Amino acid sequence: MKPDKFLLELEQILEQAGYTLRKERGSFRGDECIIEGQKLVVVNKNKPIESQLGTMGRVLGEIDLTGVYIKPAVRKKLEDLWDQLQVIPEDTAEDFELE
């Protein structure tokens, strides 16, 4: 799966998990936050796509994805990303909804 396709898949997963994704410019790394009750993930769009994937992957590893459908190929790629980032997801892969 190409990085740009994987990026779109992660954006959809964040949306399903109740987050709004904002791509902004600036001198920041990116992370999640809650502003006035709205769950946001802010990604630096000036960073390379790999950095954006890392930010979204890290956030997805820290939130509860129970009940969020993740395509098997995307789930595998996300687990590989978590291994690279050394992120231990809040829930396990068995909790992900399968086809």
Its pTM stands at 0.79
Give which of 2, 4, 9 is closest to 74, Cα–Cα: 9
Cα–Cα dist 18/42, whole Å:
14
Give which of 60, 25, 26 is closest to 41, Cα–Cα: 60
Q: pLDDT for 68-88, tens place per residue?
A: 999 999 999 999 999 888 866
Q: pLDDT for 14-65, tens place per residue?
A: 999 999 999 989 888 787 888 888 899 999 899 999 999 999 999 999 888 9
Q: Phi-psi category of 54—alpha, beta or left, where left has phi over 0 and alpha has psi -120 to 50?
A: alpha
Tell me the CA distances in angstroms from 12 to 4, 28, 86, one per residue in order.
13, 23, 22
Cα–Cα dist 41/31, whole Å:
6
Pick one of 3.30.1120, 3.50.50, 1.10.10, 3.30.2010 as the CATH number of 3-95.
3.30.2010
Instruction: Tell me what pLDDT residue 10 has.
Output: 95
Indicate whether 99 pLDDT > 90: no
| Mean pLDDT, residues 83-98 taken together | 59
Instruction: Tell me what pLDDT residue 94 has.
Output: 42
